[in-house]
Amino acid sequence: MTETLEMMQATDDRLVRVRLEKLDALREAGVEPYAYAYDRTHSTAEALAAFTEVEESDGEREVEVRAAGRIVSLRNMGKTTFLHLADEQGRIQLYLRRGDLGEEVYGLLDHLDLGDWIGAAGTLFRTRTGEVSVRAASLEVLSKSLRPLPLGKEEVDEETGERRVFSGLSDREARYRQRYLDLAVNPEVREVFRTRAAIIRSLRAFLDARGFLEVETPILQPMYGGATARPFLTHHNALDMPLYLRIADELYLKRLIVGGFERVYEIGKDFRNEGMSRFHNPEFTMLEFYAAFLDYRGVMALAEEMMETVVRETTGSSRLKIGGETIDFSEPVPRLALYEALREVGGVDVEALDDEALRERVRRLDVSDVGSMGRGKLIDELFGELVEPQLIRPTFIVDYPHEMSPLAKPKRGNAELVERFELIMGGKEIMNAYSELNDPIDQRERFVTQDRLRAAGDEEAAGIDEDFVRAIEHGMPPTGGLGMGIDRFVMLLTGQPSIRDVILFPTMRPE
């Protein structure tokens, strides 16, 4: 392996040296290889569309374009050269002739390579093989690439003309570390992130249309809370005080409900100093919204509508294939109580186990730090290991024990439970929602319980947020709230196997 890496490095160094020589040759020819701008008139897609429009009408007008992009193929045939130019929207062929460009400009092609950025102006025409191309009248170097792109191989089906590209960058870790290369050579990856952007736009539009106000709350917080997670800790030098990167937006958003905003939401980054997996990245994107006068049933109905709307708007259909199953998001999502799910799906009757028996059952799952966990955390571990992975179709898990939910209201008719639901889909939690606790006395008591767990060694338990308690002491109306993991939702809608496939720059161990 070491010898292979050394050979690859030597090859890379040699190629860079050759390109540096070409860079010098361009400058000696009086050409600046790193331009400031280029007056592009058409993207590749726009150029092709313009030609098609003329061809379908009179077919006589000439279409002049100024196109720009990367060189992704190059065939020099002496007095003529064919190359393909690629931009964000596609690719187009350039036809360059020495007689059209002149000796000096045509000679620049000797110093160009795959991956270089160029601009070309000319008229569109269709070649004998039927490909729409630009007959270049001018050529400009925009940026000289010093390292070769891993473009891989390209094959064209002789019967259909279909072009198939086999990427030269297939190693997943290399793709995550050098996402710029992944995007440059794999157009389908760019499509995943376009879909991600469309999903977020659709979520915003849905909430905006229903009277929600988008807000921003602090990322650096003196007291972390709103979830059960281990935080990242930093230090503010000017104030000489520790600060935490937020693990959730919840407590600040509910302060805004106290302040008089009745519907608020935030889409932003949260940070949890925990393990990493195909479902977990330390830095992730969360949507949280809070609505006055709704309980968890109202939030559940809103969540169903939101999910169906976003799926339809971003995929073109309410039906989507997830984990081998076709799911129709226009159908009602089934409800299943947590204890019932543990019995029927996980095979464990949690209510029949005392704390020590429960701890022993979790210990058998090879979970670490079981000794410091409270009952709520132990139940959560069991659910995550035994139930979640089996729930592929969307399912609302409802009615959690109060130990698991320090910020939710007691369930009407059963104070041992709270009014909470999670949406599980594709084997993982996607949404978490409550009838929000607005009784300040009850809230303080639950914070005290969490603080005791923290003192006993549970690093994921939060302490007492005195200012938040003070805020709801001023009165918070009945409120329903929801948190949604954007990254996991994007994974499901784009069919990606890992959270790293939907985060442009995922957290990685240093090379």
Residue 217 belongs to a domain: yes
pLDDT at 61: 82
Q: Which residues contact 88 (CB under 8 A, 6 or more apart)?
A: 43, 190
Residue 170 belongs to a domain: no
Q: Where does the pLDDT of residue 238 fall: very low under 50, low under 70, confident under 90, or very high at 90 and above? A: very high
Output DSSP code: residue 492: H
Q: What mean pLDDT comes out for the span 415-425?
A: 95
Residues 449 and 317 in one domain: yes
Residue 265 belongs to a domain: yes
Asked which of 94, 119, 149 is the last residue of a domain, the reply is: 149
Stronger pLDDT, 486 or 323, i.e. the higher one: 486
Q: Which residues contact 376 (CB under 8 A, 6 or more apart)?
A: 401, 402, 403, 404, 405
**5 has a pLDDT exceeding 50:** no
Considering only 208-212, 371-375, 441-445, 459-463, which range has the smallest mean pLDDT?
A: 459-463
**349 has a pLDDT exceeding 70:** yes
Could you give the CA distance from residue 24 to residue 309 in angstroms, rounded to a whole number? Answer: 55
pLDDT at 13: 86
pLDDT at 338: 96
Residues 287 and 362 in one domain: yes
Q: Which residues contact 160 (CB under 8 A, 6 or more apart)?
A: none
Q: E strands within 357-485?
A: 395-401, 410-411, 414-425, 428-435, 479-485
Residues 126 and 201 in one domain: no
Percent of the chain that is helix, strand, coil (3-state, to 5): 40, 30, 35
pLDDT at 473: 97
Residue 506 belongs to a domain: no
Mean pLDDT (the chain, rounded): 92
Q: Which CATH number goes with the domain that contains 268?
A: 3.30.930.10
Contact 281, 261 (CB under 8 A): no
Q: What mean pLDDT comes out for the span 61-72?
A: 95
Tell me which range, 163-177, 413-427, 454-468, is most confidently predicted by mean pLDDT. Answer: 413-427
pLDDT digits (tens, 9 = 90+) for 269-318: 999 999 899 999 999 999 999 999 999 999 999 999 999 999 999 999 99
**102 has a pLDDT exceeding 60:** yes
Which of left, alpha, beta for 203 (phi over 0: left; psi -120 to 50: alpha)? alpha
Distance of CA 375 to the CA centre of its chain: 33
Considering only 79-83, 368-372, 382-386, 388-392, which range has the smallest mean pLDDT?
A: 368-372
Residue 510 belongs to a domain: no
Which amino acid belongs to residue 342?
L
Number of domains forming the structure of the chain:
2
Residues 342 and 221 in one domain: yes
Residues 202 and 76 in one domain: no
Residues 294 and 428 in one domain: yes
Q: Where does the pLDDT of residue 156 fall: very low under 50, low under 70, confident under 90, or very high at 90 and above? A: low
pLDDT digits (tens, 9 = 90+) for 191-237: 999 999 999 999 999 999 999 999 999 999 999 988 888 999 999 99
Pairing of strands 213-214, 263-271: parallel
Residues 371 and 310 in one domain: yes
**163 has a pLDDT exceeding 70:** no
Residue 373 belongs to a domain: yes
**505 has a pLDDT exceeding 60:** yes
Q: What mean pLDDT comes out for the span 94-112?
A: 96
**453 has a pLDDT exceeding 90:** no
SS3 label, residue 64: strand
Residues 268 and 365 in one domain: yes
Contact 48, 90 (CB under 8 A): yes
Residues 204 and 322 in one domain: yes
Asked which of 149, 174, 200 is the last residue of a domain, the reply is: 149
**159 has a pLDDT exceeding 80:** no
Residue 352 belongs to a domain: yes
**334 has a pLDDT exceeding 70:** yes
Residue 432 structural domain = 189-501
Residues 113 and 235 in one domain: no
- Residue 29 is inside which H or E element, if any? none
Residue 505: CB atoms within 10 A of its CB come to 11
Residues 226 and 122 in one domain: no
Could you give the CA distance from residue 92 to residue 39 in angstroms, rounded to a whole number? Answer: 17
- Percentage of residues of the chain with pLDDT beyond 70: 95
pLDDT at 454: 80
Q: Which CATH number goes with the domain that contains 46?
A: 2.40.50.140
pTM to 2 decimals?
A: 0.90
**167 has a pLDDT exceeding 60:** no
**446 has a pLDDT exceeding 80:** yes
Residues 228 and 294 in one domain: yes
Residue 165 belongs to a domain: no
